[in-house]
Structure formats: structure tokens, C-alpha cells
Structure 1
């Protein structure tokens, strides 16, 4: 399972535990972890793995996303909330792992994962129609997460470029000149 930062919030787990009236022992049994692990999650000393997050959420009767705090959901968050690795999510979506990795990282669909043919309905079905149930969410939430993923990717890319310009301006100038020459051809 990837080490995706997904915003686990121990305060939300404590609140959900209180609302459910669940003991540490009951949560531990239901989540398949030790009582010590649950206490570490509650204290914020440890972050549960994504598959454990799903089990903790079930133990206190909330959705995995309800135990997290993120400013904007991205595709990686939605995958983590299902408790799946990238490989497992790719398999569930019926696409190659690298195709899914690119989608989750950049937010861009690409030609191979934008739609799929449904033989039973004898028609092409768009991503926003067939993928949301596999994430357990609405199409609107999926499309918003894709948009935030694209925005994050663009911002990270711009920051890397800025850092490169500061570190090695001569190299950047050479690359830009090569690009200009190629466009002129």
C-alpha cells in the first residue's frame, strides 16, 4: 500500500469513538489491530495504514473520509478511503497499474481510461459513469477530486521548475532555447 498522505485526524477518531460509545478493546477487535495501536491512533502518535483506516471507520460506524481532514480531496484520497493499494484500485477499475498511477498522480485521464465499452448495454460508458461506484462515491465528487489532482500536479510542477531555475539557470536557458528551436522547425 502506498504511503499516501491522506489526512488522518486523531481528533475525529476520538469524536467518532465517543459518539459510538466504543471501547478501545471493541475498536481493536473490530479493526483487527492491538489495543496499543488504537491508543496510538487516538493519541495521534501513529497514522493507520489505509486498509486499517477502513476497518477503524467501520468499528465506529463512520466513513473512512470522516476520520480525515483534507482541504481538497484528490484521487489518492478517494483510493485510500476504499482501503485499496494502487495496484488493487487499478485492477478494480480494469486498467493497467501504470495507467492508474498516471491518472492518480496527474488527474489526467488519457485516452485509454476515459471510457469503456459495456457489451451488455452495447454502448461506450464515460469514466464518470462507471468509476464512481468503484470508489463508493458520486460522479460529482470524483470529478472534483480529479480537478484538485490536476491543480495540485500543476502547482507541484511549477514549484519544481522554479527550484530548477534557481539552482541551475544556465541549464534552464539551454533547455528553453532547444524547445524554441524545435518549435520553429
Structure 2
């Protein structure tokens, strides 16, 4: 599964458990983990893996997103809320794992994720229409997650670039010069 931080919130699990009126033992049996693990999740000292998050949500009668605090959902969040690994999500979407990883990291869809032809309906179907059910969300929520993924990627890229400029200004200047030279060559 993923090591992507996804905003698990122990307080929300405690509230959901209370609302469901269920015991630690019952949650442990439903999720297939030990009572100690459930206690650690409830205490906030351990974060469940995405597939366990799915089981915890089912055990307390809610959905995985309700057990998390996320300012802006990204594609990684949507995948994790389905309880899938990157490779499982890539298979579900019918693309190579590396292609999916790139999309989840940058928010940029390649050719494979633009539209698909549906033989049954004899028409092309847009990405949002065919992919949103696989993520278990609406097309609008998928669009918003893609946008937040792109913004997060660009912000992280800018932070790395700023660190490089501070740590090795000569190297940063050489990289900028190479980038300008490459852009000039592509224009020819």
C-alpha cells in the first residue's frame, strides 16, 4: 500500500466509534487486526494502512474520508479512501503502474486517461465520467482532487528549486541556463 500521509484523524474515529456504540473488540474482529492495534488507532499513536482504514470505516458505519482531516483532497487521498494500493488503482484504471504513479504525483493525465471509447454506448467517454466511479466520487470531486494534486506538485517543485538556489547557487544558474538553451532548441 501507500506510505502517502492521508490525514487519518483518531478523534474522528473515536467519535464514530461512540456514535456506532461498538467496542474495541468488535472493531478488531471486523478489521482483522488486534485489539491493541485498534487501541493505538483510537489513541492516535498509530496510523492505519489504507486497507485497514476501509475496514475501520465499515466497522464504525462510516466512509474512510469521514475518518480523516484533509484540507484539500488529492488523487492520492481518493485512492486511499478506496483502500487500494497504487498498483491496484492502476489496474482498475487500466494503465501501467508508473503511468498512474506519475498522474497521482503530478496531477497530469497522460493520453490513457483522457477519454475512452465505450463499445456498449458507441461513444467516447470523458475521463471524469469513466474514472470517477472507480475512485468512488463525483466527477466534480475528481476534478478538484486533480487540481489540488497539480497545485501541490508545483508548490513542492518550487520549494525544491528554492532549496537548490540557496544550497548551490552556481548549480542553479547552470540548470537555468540549460533550460533556456533547451527551450531555444525546441523552438527551432
TM over 0.5: yes
Q: Following TM superposition, by how much is the alpha carbon of 1:115 offset from its aligned partner in structure 2, in angstroms?
A: 1.1
- State TM-score, norm by structure 1: 0.97
Correspondences of 1:59-98 after superposition (within 5 Å): 59-98=59-98
Structure 2 equivalent of residue 147 of structure 1: 147
Distance across 1 between alignment mates of 2:24 and 2:177: 62
Distance across 2 between alignment mates of 1:184 and 1:132: 40
Q: Following TM superposition, by how much is the alpha carbon of 1:26 offset from its aligned partner in structure 2, in angstroms?
A: 0.7
CA deviations over 1:161-184 (Å, ceiling 9, x no partner): 000011111111112222323334
Q: Following TM superposition, by how much is the alpha carbon of 1:28 offset from its aligned partner in structure 2, in angstroms?
A: 0.7
Distance across 1 between alignment mates of 2:42 and 2:99: 36
Unaligned segments of structure 1, at least 5 residues: none
> Against the structure 1 CA distance between its residues 99 and 184, is the aligned structure 2 distance closer, same or farther, given a 3 Å change threshold?
closer
Q: Which runs of 4+ in 1 moved over 2 A?
A: 178-185
Root-mean-square deviation (CA, aligned residues, Å) is 1.0
User: Is the aligned partner of 1:27 residue 2:27?
Assistant: yes
User: Is the aligned partner of 1:166 residue 2:166?
Assistant: yes
Unaligned segments of structure 2, at least 5 residues: none
Correspondences of 1:1-185 after superposition (within 5 Å): 1-185=1-185
Count residues in correspondence: 185
> Against the structure 1 CA distance between its residues 183 and 83, is the aligned structure 2 distance closer, same or farther, given a 3 Å change threshold?
closer
